[in-house]
Structure 1
Amino acid sequence: MEASTIWWILAGIAIAAELLTGGIYLLMISTGLAAGAIAAHLGLGLPAQISTAAIIGVLAVLLCRRIRGRRMPELPAAANPDLNLDIGETLHVPEWNSDGTARIPYRGSQWTVVLRPGSLPSTGLYRVIEVQGNRLIVDKA
């Protein structure tokens, strides 16, 4: 069996393992294995194939880690507008209770509205900034 065939089989196994586990790093390792296969196609010796696979695989993993490290930190689910469509919606609060909460109709049911800490209660429009269970945390719009 040709050396390039072995490299391609190893790359395929790494891709299959990545599909089963969901980890992106195995995909980066398979990139290195594919580079080893290309080195074998070019007629390089076994030490050069192994070096090529190792260098490309490690560089791919490091590049992936660097890109993932630069991403914005994810918001908690309660404050993430991508997960909770209520965040960013505006609502009218006609009056506040003495404990700093209000009960308003929203989306067909009664919701408890709570002000963001440090805000003063007043009537008017508010924007939902977080949802905690059945409580809407709001800030003045």
Structure 2
Amino acid sequence: MTHTIWLVAALLALIAEFMSGTFYLLVLAVALAVAGVGSLAGASEAICWLLASLSGSIGVFGVARWRARQRRSNHTTRPADDPDIGQTVRISALLDDGLARVHYRGTEWQARLSGDGPWQAGMQAYIHSRDGNVLILSLKQTETR
């Protein structure tokens, strides 16, 4: 009977994960399923709780590391991966803290100015890289492949 409770809880956590899209609920569902399989194999309740705790902890640690690695790799797009690198933009306005508004692809974008200025509104610059949706500008054209 106990294995049924573990497996139903795992199924409910999996359904919640499908609705929310978070990997942490998937880890919870797997941890509950591991405990359910342990219970089905005849493990005591204490061992099932230990299995769920250990598998959940390992899963949370793995997801946290994976997310940190994803965040680092997506922080700045490499020129070979981004067709915008090297494209020309026109600076519409200079903002505070080294930021600017630029006109590119028919709309206004936020851009960070690299230290090779002097920068003025109306001048042309080149996209050196990106940080998310913020374009990093340079006065020198970046080579594209």
Does the alignment reach a TM-score above 0.5?
Answer: yes
Unaligned runs of 5+ in 1: 94-105, 110-114
Q: CA deviation at 1:136?
A: 9.0
Whole-angstrom distance in 2 between the partners of 1:58 and 1:52: 10
- Superposed CA RMSD: 3.9
**Match of residue 20 from structure 1:** 19
- 1:66 matched to 2:65? The reply is yes
C-alpha separation in 2, matches of 1:130 and 1:73: 13
Shift of 1:80: 5.4
Percent identity between the two aligned chains: 23
Equivalent residue, structure 1, for 2:40: 41
Q: Report if the CA contact (8 A) 1:80-1:87 is conserved.
A: no
Task: Tell whether the 8 Å contact from 1:86 to 1:128 is kept in structure 2 after alignment.
Answer: no
Give the TM-score normalised by structure 1.
0.59
Shift of 1:5: 1.9
SS in 1 for 2:52: helix
Q: Deviations over 1:87-121 (max 9, x none)?
A: 21445x9xxxxxxxxxxxx8689xxxxx7441479
Structure 2 SS opposite 1:87: coil
Paired residue total: 114
CA deviation string 1:19-74 (max 9, x = no partner):
22222111111111010011012111222112111111111112211232233164
What is the Cα deviation at residue 18 of structure 1? Answer: 1.6
State the AA in 2 paired with 1:140: K
Given that 2:27 and 2:56 are in contact with CA atoms closer than 8 Å, whether structure 1 keeps it comes out as yes
- Mark the CA change 1:128 to 1:44 in structure 2 (over 3 Å): closer, same or farther: same
Residues 36, 49 of structure 1: 8 Å contact kept: yes
Instruction: State the alpha-carbon separation in 2 of the partners of residues 136 and 59 from structure 1.
Output: 38
Measure the CA separation in 1 of the matches of 2:68 and 2:106.
42
1:53 is matched with 52
TM-score, structure 2 normalization: 0.57
Cα pair distance change 1:10/1:80, threshold 3 Å = same
Structure 1 stretches of 4+ with a deviation exceeding 3 A read: 106-109, 135-139
What one-letter code is carried by the residue in structure 2 that aligns with 1:57?
Answer: G
**Gapped regions of structure 2 (runs ≥ 5):** 91-103, 108-112, 120-124
> Which residue of the partner structure matches residue 84 of structure 2?
87
Question: Greater CA radius of gyration, 1 or 2?
Answer: 1
**Structure 2 Cα separation of the partners of residues 30 and 107 of structure 1:** 44
